Structure 1
Amino acid sequence: MITLHHLDNSRSQRVLWLMEELGLDYEVEFYKRDPKTMRAPEALRRVHPLGRSPVIVEDDEVMAETGAIIRYLLDRHGQGRLEPEAGTRAAREITYWLNYAEGSAMPPLLMKLVFDTMPQRAPRLMKPLVHRVIDPVRNGFVAPEIKLHIDYWEEVLGRSGWFVGDSFSAADIMMSFPLETASDRGGAGMRPVIRDFLKRIHSRPAYRRALEVGGPYRYA
């Protein structure tokens, strides 16, 4: 039995979705963020030293990092579903998106989140100073970097509506979180192709079932 250690409003929603798409048997251990810090609870450190989600456990093997988990689930339980034949160009593209989503797409979105919340948490008299320090970086680097990625997604999805080939695949599951967060905080939802992609994935029965299991998810 697969156990998913699931944190609310987190990357682990993708793992729930994938397991629903594959029709796997699994159980979920639920964790809530600290309402003040929005960080994962200390209890997750008892599962994995970094104390982050998602983490899955199967047959005493502990697996962290979304891309690695998706690769594991496809290799062990996928039976060729949601990915092209091994060794093909399309299969290599799947590997690219599994790595790109967290390695390239998420860092500028995380930077934006941090910079956007810093002034809110600063003492009132310090807010002008905080803005003077972070606004040049936020406006001069972070915003253009996010736009670069959003332009890229719009162009790729404009070819067939999916990230790899002309049908839904694990790449679309992996890329859902960057697009959802960029829609929430980076303006990606204003792009017609991205907006259509999000509408289509959000309407998938397996996505809806994953929401029912995982609970409230702000990005859907």
Structure 2
Amino acid sequence: MLRRNLRHTTRNPLTVFNAVIMPIVLMFLMVYILGDAFDVGVSYADYATPGLIMTTICYGIGPTATAVNSDMTTGFINRLRVMHVSRAAVLNAHVITTMLRSLVAIVFVIGVALLMGFRPSASFAQWLGVIGVVVLTILAIGWLTVAFGLAAKTPESAGLAAVPLMLLPFLSSAFVPAGTMGPGAREFAQYQPFTSIIETLRGLLTGAPSAGSAVTAIAWCAGLTAIGYLWARVSFSKRG
């Protein structure tokens, strides 16, 4: 199942391209056009890159939701019923494909960020921490996306179901400190899950990790993974 999904990705490279191009456009916009307007205390490229990593993950989930729904609505799962194949492998393969596709996109985005002035000061161990947090985040968002895809009625609506996750980075500390936002938006940004994940990545990349934000980020990732996994399995059992 994983090989099948990877073949679909290689035959449609736009799934990776779309996940890369929008964060890069945002990077140019935020660093070169709007960056001087924000007082974040450090180089804006250093500040924005963790948020752009999260944005890259979120912009890469649309094809996953659509592909999961297509498997359910085009009869592919019905063909598996007569074969000695674990139907759970369908869901696992989609999550792993999402993870691999997102990691490739993140490498491209970090490369562009380095060209635009991003200068991380993380140690080797802290880079390993960054990779671990990124993998946990993709796992959590991947399972939520699979659940969205299964809950949707059509592939088109499945793609739209992932839009709220794409918008959440903009309502976090990805591009401006949450404390500078207006009432209501400030509280939402401070306590939504993406902010703790972004702050953890920011701390690791700048060589000043925060144990508090790291624990919160890991807890959010574990909770969202559990919710997405259980929701996906229940929806899959009902529809499959």
Pair in the same fold by TM > 0.5: no
Of structures 1 and 2, the one with the larger relative CO (CA 8 A, separation 6+) is 2
* Normalised TM-score (structure 2): 0.27
Higher strand proportion, which one? Answer: 1
Higher helix proportion, which one? Answer: 2
